[in-house]
Structures are given as C-alpha cells and as structure tokens.
C-alpha cells in the first residue's frame, strides 16, 4: 500500500503544472531599493529595464538569492540583519520569514543548492563576528544546521555552478554587533574559503595586503573573481580585484596607473560577463571599472553612485543610487530610470538570462 500511495502521489505531482520564473514575468534581475517615502522594496527587473514587480521589505535590503527553478526569492536585510524574507515572486506573497538563531546575525547574502532543496545563509556570531553558514530546508524553510565559514565576517556566499561547493568571501573584520564599528583593523585576516559538505576544503589569504577585505564574488568557468575594500592608508595604492582558481595562488589585478585611486579603495559589486570581461562598481568613486578575463585593466566608465552590476546580453546591467538602470556593452547607455535609490546589488536570475 505504501508503494501504491507513493506511486499515486508521484502521478499527481507530475500532472500538476510547474510554476517557474516565467510565471513572475521572466525577470532578469532582482534588486532592493529605497522608495521616495523612505520605505524599501525588492524589485524584479526585466531585461529591457522594466520593473515587473515590487514587494515591500520591512527595512533596508541588501542582496537576494533566486531559487534555481521556482519563482521564489529570499531577500536579505542589510548586515547585520535579523530578517530574510522568502517571497513568492509570481503572487507577491510572503512565504516565510527567516530569523537567525539567538546570538547570530545574517550578513546580507545567501545561495541555494543545485537542486533547490537547501538554502545557505551568510551569518556571524554576533559578539565575535566568527563566520557561520546557516543551513535551511528550502521546502519549508526550517533551520537544519550550521557550520563554520572558514573565517571572520563572511559576506557574499556563492555556489560553484554544477556543484554544491560553496565559495565564501570572509571579510576578516570583527564588527560591533550594534553599530557596525570595526574592531580589529590592525589584526584582520580576510580570506576566500571553499566548503563542501559542511567542511572547509581550502582557504586563500593575501598576506601582502592583510587589510584588503574580501567582500563580493563572481564566478566563471572554474575561476572566482573577488572584489575587495581597502581598510588601510587611503594614500596607498592597492588592487581591489583578485582572481583565483582552486588549488592555485590568487592573482591580484591592478588598475591602470591613471585609475589607481578612482574607486577610492572601495569595490561595491562585481560581475563576470559572458564575453569574459569583469566589471566592478564603486559608489564612493562614482565609477565602473572593467577588466579582461585575466585581470588586465580595460576601461573606466563614470557613473555617479554606481551600485549593482550583473551580466546582461552584450555585457553588463548597472544600477545606481539615482534610480537609473544602464547597459554597458562597448559604451554605457542609460536604459530606464525609476523614482528609487537602488541598493548595493543587482542579482541575476540565471534561468532567465539568454
């Protein structure tokens, strides 16, 4: 009888229509923004720049994680955060609200497993900033487990495509759990950590620049490009882009001499385009920097308060604090403008990008 029930349940499930990202209008990207009344919302954005949906958030958002098949997104609070909202983007309804366990804080990012059954969240132990990866059952969003991130102050967490190996940008900075003040600049140890099955497999550090905080990640063909923020002497020129392949020594990618201080020591977001170019934004610098796949500097584009960047057909899509959405191919071209201030990240929904 049990076998028969399972068989019949399988027939019913297979007969039910599958709901996918097309049911949410086939958004290409997700982005949080501040609205004119100082409220906040998560937006689904089409490839032509149209806003397809806008879903309220309880406070300032940061990044989001898009489910690999369902039209479902997890919107994370700005770090240190106490909420992550699971949103049905097809209906605009809230499916679940995640709260970190006592003594933990969300750190702005998360990633789904390859089959979409697990959600991993970037977290810290509030009092010490020790990194943790939270594990959630993405079928009902119950908390399953947690494990160390391999460093202090983890921020972005990504899954290597085709695997369930995680790459984590451990910023290395211990912060006050209340006001985010930095407590260990002289002793910080940023790292890039690779984890599989809850265990650290490799940790990469940059001993020559211990005050380069590794923050954000872009992945392509077995390589990880990582964007950094400089916590040292602002008069000292430093590279803000690194490239790493597992098992190898990381490559630090210097900008052109004329652009050495253009980003003001701060790389905000990073993306790897299909044509191999790497793009990084700098809100304080008001620029978008473009590098070749090997890290060689290619170009600089001025864009006030440039914030989010993501792959787009022909290059990159870029959002800024003035509400603009631009396309960057050979040139930077404004596409649309909303009456919002786009926040830090523009998250690509891989299944909807051609």
Residue 104 included in any domain: yes
**Residue 179 burial (CB < 10 Å; 0-12/13-18/19+)?**
exposed
**14 in a structural domain:** no
Nearest one of 97, 87, 88 to 136, comparing CA atoms: 97
Residue 323, in any domain of the structure: yes
Number of structural domains (the chain) is 1
CATH number, residue 64: 2.130.10.10
Structural domain for 341, as ranges: 20-352
Residue 6 lies in a domain: no
Residues pairing with 105 in the sheet:
124
Domain assignment of residue 13, yes or no: no
User: What does the alpha-carbon distance between residue 207 and residue 155 come to, in Å, rounded to a whole number?
Assistant: 20
pTM for this predicted structure: 0.92
**Is 11 part of a structural domain of the chain?**
no
CA distance 253 to 289: 12
Contact 227, 267 (CB under 8 A): yes
Q: Which two tokens stand for residue 103?
A: 């003594």
- pLDDT on residue 164: 97
What is 44-80 written as a DSSP string? EE-TTS-EEEEEEESS-EEEEEE-SSSSEEEEEESSS
Burial class from Cβ neighbours inside 10 Å (0-12, 13-18, 19+) for residue 164 reads middle
Would 133 be classed as within a structural domain? Answer: yes
pLDDT digits (tens), the chain, 354 positions = 444 444 444 444 444 457 899 999 999 999 999 999 999 999 999 999 999 999 999 999 999 999 999 999 999 998 777 889 999 999 999 999 999 999 999 999 999 999 999 999 999 999 999 999 999 999 999 999 999 999 999 999 999 999 999 999 999 999 887 777 898 899 999 999 999 999 999 999 999 999 999 999 999 989 999 999 999 999 999 999 999 999 999 999 999 999 999 999 999 999 999 999 999 999 999 999 999 999 999 999 999 999 999 999 999 999 999 999 999 998 999 999 999 999 999 999 975 544
Residue 252's nearest CA partner among 301, 183, 179, 190 is 190
Residue 5 falls inside a structural domain: no
Provide the pLDDT for residue 82. 84
**Polymer length of the chain:** 354
């Amino acid at each position: 009888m049990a076998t028969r029930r399972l068989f019949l349940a399988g027939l019913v499930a297979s007969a039910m229509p599958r709901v996918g990202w097309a049911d949410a209008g086939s958004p290409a990207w997700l982005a949080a923004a501040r609205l004119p009344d100082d409220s906040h919302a998560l937006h689904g954005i089409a490839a032509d720049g149209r806003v397809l949906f806008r879903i309220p958030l309880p406070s300032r958002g940061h990044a989001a994680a898009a489910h690999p098949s369902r039209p479902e997104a997890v919107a994370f609070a700005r770090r240190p955060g106490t909420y992550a909202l699971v949103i049905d983007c097809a209906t605009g309804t809230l499916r679940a609200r995640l709260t970190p366990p006592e003594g933990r804080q969300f750190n702005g990012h998360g990633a789904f497993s390859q089959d979409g059954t697990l959600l991993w969240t970037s977290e810290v132990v509030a009092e010490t900033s020790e990194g943790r990866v939270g594990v959630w059952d993405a079928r009902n969003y119950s908390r399953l487990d947690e494990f160390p991130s391999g460093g202090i102050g983890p921020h972005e967490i990504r899954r290597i495509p085709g695997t369930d190996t995680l790459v984590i940008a451990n910023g290395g900075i211990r912060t006050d759990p209340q006001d985010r003040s930095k407590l260990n600049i002289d002793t910080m140890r940023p790292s890039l950590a690779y984890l599989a099955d809850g265990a650290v497999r490799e940790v990469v550090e940059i001993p020559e620049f211990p005050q380069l905080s590794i923050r954000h990640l872009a992945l392509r063909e077995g390589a990880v490009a990582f964007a950094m923020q400089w916590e040292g002497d602002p008069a000292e020129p430093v590279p803000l882009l690194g490239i790493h392949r597992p098992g190898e020594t990381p490559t630090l990618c210097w900008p052109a001499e004329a652009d050495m201080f253009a980003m003001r020591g701060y790389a905000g977001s990073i993306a790897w385009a299909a044509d191999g170019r790497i793009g990084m934004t700098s809100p304080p610098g008001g620029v978008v920097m473009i590098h070749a796949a090997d890290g060689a500097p290619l170009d600089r584009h001025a864009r006030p308060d440039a914030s989010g960047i993501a792959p787009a057909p022909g290059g990159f899509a870029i959002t800024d604090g003035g509400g603009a959405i631009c396309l960057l191919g050979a040139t930077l071209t404004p596409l649309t403008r909303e009456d919002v201030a786009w926040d830090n990240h523009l998250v690509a929904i891989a299944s909807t990008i051609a």
